[in-house]
Structure 1
Amino acid sequence: MNKDERQRRLKELVKVQKQKEMLEHAKLQEKTVREAFEEAFGDEIEYEMLDTNETRLILEDMGETFPIAFWNRIDWADSSVNRMEINEKDISRIPLLLKEKGFNSSSPIYVFWGYDDYPCVKTRLTTELLIKFDEIIWLGSDMYYYCPVQKYIIEFFHDDSINIGWITNRND
């Protein structure tokens, strides 16, 4: 094997190794999320882990729907976004508040965290998911429940604020 062939082969081996590492990292991230959900909810809620590509599509959709501020949260100052701030004690009222705004809270939602590459979790907005949010938020400093069908989002930000957001051009 000449020098060029060895270099090419080395590059191939490095590429394969990086792919293996990425796959192992993704598996570890999925395992961490699954364990957090099992510990927090047991059999109380149904959920599905998304793969890397599905997660990317959901995050891209959210980023195209809602303006994101440079510090990685919803840009609540943007005039296209409606915002309702919620106290933690009122968190179980979120489905009712969404209904009052014309949303159907039975549509699928996606749970994801800021500042990491955990997979999204597809589930439904339930009282259990809401009142036990603090048992899964530790995966990231911020957490989001996003409904791409209804175009609303619930943001659990690291400053302890909880916000419901939706886009102004909806008929509300």
Structure 2
Amino acid sequence: MTLFQECVEALGPNIIILTVEETTDYLEELCTYYPITSWGRIDWDKISNRRTIIEKDDLNDWFNENNISTLDVTILWNYTESPGIKTNLHDALQVLDHVTAVGSDTFMYNLEVGYVIEFYHEGEVTIGFNKC
């Protein structure tokens, strides 16, 4: 079983697996609304509303401070052939190890609201808001 298949199994039945074309479209949207460094990371210095997440409460605090209640996300990965997945943020966080194992960097993105959570491969987790 691949790491992607393990992730899908861990997330459960309430997901949508994107097609290759949909995944490409979402990656292009992410790169349109968020500046990306040459090494594939979001350039957080260019995002004014951002926070480094140390513990789960930091994430909840950020959502509350920004009046965000929409928790539907699209999960995308750098440097993998795996398609994106649409799911609920709460569900993804419950099996985070499975989710982040799929690719070197993981992005949980909500285009409608304009937030993204980046799980960088060196362990840093950052959330930012860039209204689309």
- The change in CA–CA distance for 1:157 and 1:91 in structure 2 (over 3 A counts) is same
Match of 1:75 in 2: 43
- Partners of 2:57 and 2:103 lie apart in 1 by 22
2:130 is the counterpart of 1:163 = no
**Higher helix proportion:** 1
1:152 is matched with 115
Q: Which residue of 2 aligns with 1:21?
A: none
Residues 27-59 of structure 1, C-alpha deviations (whole Å, 9 max, x = no match):
x9xx75243220x2345xx11100011111111
Tell me the residue number matched to 2:51.
Answer: 84
Give the aligned CA root-mean-square deviation in angstroms: 2.1
Q: Which residue of 2 aligns with 1:20?
A: none
C-alpha distance in 1 between matches for 2:104 and 2:66: 28
Provide the rounded CA distance (Å) in 2 between the counterparts of 1:55 and 1:152.
Answer: 17
Deviation at 1:93, TM superposition (A): 5.3
TM-score (norm 1): 0.68
- From the CA coordinates, give the structure whose radius of gyration is larger: 1
Amino acid at match of 1:145: M
1:99 partner SS: helix
Identity, % of aligned positions: 30
CA distance in 2, matches of 1:123, 1:42: 10
CA distance in 2, matches of 1:37, 1:92: 26
Give 1:116's match in structure 2, choosing from 80, 86, 110. Answer: 80
Runs (4+) of structure 1 exceeding 4 A deviation are: none
The alignment partner of 2:30 has SS state of: helix
Equivalenced residues, count: 131
TM-score normalized by the length of structure 2 = 0.86
Give the superposition deviation at 1:153: 0.2
Aligned to 1:8: none
